Structure 1
C-alpha cells in the first residue's frame, strides 16, 4: 500500500501557483537605411525577426497556459540616430526584463551595457560579431544567431569532406566582409585547407543594373578570378553586394561557396528534415512569407525564454538566465540535434545548414569531427580559446 501511494504521488502533476505569471518579451530593432536588393526577385521584409518572435510567442503560449504562464510580445524601434540605452531605460520602467535584440554590434553593446540593463536578459538575433562572444561579451547577453567563426568552421568542415582543400578567397569592402574573411582564414588553418589566392571585390554593384551591366560583369569577373588553380571560390560578402554575380561567370568552372552560392546558415527555406517542414508551414501561415535567418534566431530566442520559464516555473530573469546556461536546458530547434547555450560565452550551439538555392546540401558538423563534450562545439570558439570573461 505504501509503495502504491508513493507511486501515485510521483505520477501526480506538481502543484502550480494559482497566480498567473506574466512574461513580456520586447523585440528591439533600429531603423535602417533601405538596401537595394541584388535580384529583382528579392522583396523588402518589414517584419524581419519580429515574425519569428511572434511564432515563438504562440508556441510558448501553447505550453505556458497549462501552468498559468502568459507570454506577451511587444516591439520597439530605435530611431536611426536614437540612443539604444534610452529605449532600454523605457523598457525597464515598464517592467520588461527580456529583450530580443535585432541590433547591430554597436547598438547591442550600448543597450546591454546601460545602467538599466543590469537586471535584464538580452538575446542577440542579428549580429555574428565574434567580439561579442569574446572580449566584449556580457553576462546578460546570449546569442541565437551563429557567429562568423561558426559559419566559417561549418563551411571548412564541408569543403574538407569534399576534399576541396585549395580555396580562392574573394572579399567585399564592408567591415563585416573583412571580419568574415578573417574567420575563413582561421578555419582554413584549423581544418587543413589552403587559401591559394585572395582578391578584393571593387566593382560597383549599381553598374550591373545598366542595360549593358551583364556584359560588363561577363568581362570583369573572369579578369578578377583569373588566378592560380583552386578547388572552390569562397566569397565573403555579408552585405550581399556582389556574391550572386559570381556563379557562372568565373574564369574557371569552380563552385562558389560562403555567403552566396553554397551558403552556410542557421536556417534556410529549403530545410525540410527533422520536422522543419512543420515549422516552415506554421511560419508561412503567420507571416505570409518564408522564414529567414533572423526570423529563426528570434523564434529560437523567444522559445528559449519560454522553455526556461516553463521548466523553472519562474518569471525572474536571473533564474531564467541561470537555467538557460545550465546543462538542463535543451531546445528542439528542428535541425536534428538539441540546441543549448555555451556557458563560457553565451552562444547557442547548433547545427549549421549547408544550403543551395533550392535544396539542402549538407549539415555541419560533418562526420568524423569529434569533441570531448558536444560535436557542435567543433563549430566556433571552444572553451579553451575563449577570451570571454563575465
Structure 2
C-alpha cells in the first residue's frame, strides 16, 4: 500500500496575495526494514532526511514570499516491498522536483521513467559510486556525499597525522562490504597501508563481555597506527574504541568519523542552522538531513535567481560554473558538471568536536580542492552530462 500525504504546505501566512509561482517539491522515500543491531542507544529517527527538507522549505519561503514564490513539500512514503515506481508516477503528475531516498536500483528505476525525463531528481540518501559514474543519469543530482568523498576525507586526515598504517574490521552486511572497499580505494589513493583485515563475526551480546572479547579478537593484528571500522549499519563499531589489543585510535564508522554534517560543527553560522533544526525536529541534524536541506536550498537559490520553476532551467543554473551556495561549512558549495555531485567539505569529527574539515590543507587540485574528495572528472565513467568536464 502506498501512503501519500502532505507534510507541510509551506506558504507563509504573511505571503502576499500576488504570489503566482508555485514550486512543488516531493520528498519520495522507500522505507526499509533495518537489520537488528547490538545496541539501540541511537535509533534512526523516523523523520531522517525529511526533517531537513522541511526546515529548508521554511528557510526558503522566507525569501520566496517577497518574490511571489510559494513552496510546498509533499511526502510520498512507500513501505518495504511497496511499488515505488507507481508512487513516483503519481508524484510526477503534480511535481517535477523530487528528493529521493532509496537504494541505487530504485533510484534508477524512478529516474528512467518516461514521466521523469522532464523532471529533476535529487539523491539525498545513498553515496553509491555507480550513480556518479557508469549509472549516472542527466536528470539526477546528488546532495548526499558519495562514499568515496567521505573515505577520501578520512585518509587525508590520517596521512596528515602520519597515521599511515591501518588495520580494518568489516561487518557482514552488503553496506559494510561496500564501505570497506571504499576505504581500500581511498587508502591506495592517499598512500595509507591497510596491513590486515578481519571480518566481524560475533553474533552474541557483547554488552557485558566487550573488554574481554574484543581485545582477544584483535590481538593477532600486526602493529598499526589506527583501526578502521567498516560498519555502515552502526552495529558493532561502538564496542571497538578503548577495547583494542594495543592502544590505538579508531576511525571510520566510529571514533574519527567523516560525515556530511554533525551537531559539533559550530563555526560559519552553523549554530544558527543547528538551532533552527533542533527547534523544528527536536533532535540534532544529521548528514541525510543536511543533504535534503541542501537540495531544497539549491532549488530555492535557482528559483530566486531565474524566477522560474522549470526543472530544466533550475538544472542549467545549478550546473553553471558560476553557481555557488552557502552551506555553513566555510566554503561555497557547487555541483560537478560531469556527474551532478554537490561539491562540499566533509566534516571529520569525534563524538564531541570537529577535528577538521576536508579537504585538508596541502592536498591540491588544478581546479577546485574539493575535487580531491570523491570521483574527479577523469575517474568518473559518467557520460550522461554534456557540460564541460
Tell me, yes or no, whether TM beats 0.5.
yes
Please report how far the alpha carbon of residue 116 of structure 1 lies from its aligned counterpart in structure 2 after TM superposition. Answer: 1.3
Alpha carbons 1:38, 1:244 under 8 Å: kept: no
Matched residue, 1:117? 116
- For each residue in 1:56-93, what CA deviation from the matched residue of structure 2 results, as whole angstroms up to 9, or x when unmatched? 10111111122211111110111211222111110122
Q: Matched residues in 1 for 2:171 and 2:79: separation?
A: 28
1:235 paired residue among 229, 232, 246: 229
Q: What is the TM-score normalised by the length of structure 2?
A: 0.91
Q: Matched residues in 2 for 1:21 and 1:300: separation?
A: 21
Q: Out of 249-258 and 27-36, give the one that drifted further.
A: 27-36
Q: What is the TM-score normalised by the length of structure 1?
A: 0.91
2:214 paired residue among 202, 205, 221: 221
Alpha carbons 2:167, 2:226 under 8 Å: kept: yes
Q: Matched residues in 1 for 2:34 and 2:126: separation?
A: 18
- For each residue in 1:147-200, what CA deviation from the matched residue of structure 2 results, as whole angstroms up to 9, or x when unmatched? 111011000000000000001011111112111111111111111111111111
Bigger Rg over Cα? 1
Q: Which runs of 5+ in 1 are unaligned?
A: 1-17
Please report how far the alpha carbon of residue 221 of structure 1 lies from its aligned counterpart in structure 2 after TM superposition. Answer: 1.4
Q: Matched residues in 2 for 1:184 and 1:44: separation?
A: 24
Matched residue, 1:168? 167
Alpha carbons 1:37, 1:43 under 8 Å: kept: no
Q: Matched residues in 2 for 1:106 and 1:386: separation?
A: 19
Matched residue, 1:143? 142
Matched residue, 1:54? 54
Q: Which runs of 5+ in 2 are unaligned?
A: 1-17, 385-389
Q: Matched residues in 2 for 1:287 and 1:19: separation?
A: 28
- For each residue in 1:228-276, what CA deviation from the matched residue of structure 2 results, as whole angstroms up to 9, or x when unmatched? 0000001111011111110011101000001111100000011111110
Matches within 5 A, 1:169-248: 169-204=168-203, 207-208=205-206, 213-215=207-209, 217-226=210-219, 227-248=221-242
Q: Matched residues in 2 for 1:337 and 1:245: separation?
A: 35
Q: Matched residues in 2 for 1:320 and 1:261: separation?
A: 39
Matched residue, 2:74? 74
1:342 aligns with 2:341: no
Alpha carbons 1:56, 1:299 under 8 Å: kept: yes
Task: Report the structure, 1 or 2, having the larger helix content.
Answer: 1
Please report how far the alpha carbon of residue 19 of structure 1 lies from its aligned counterpart in structure 2 after TM superposition. Answer: 6.4
Please report how far the alpha carbon of residue 284 of structure 1 lies from its aligned counterpart in structure 2 after TM superposition. Answer: 0.5
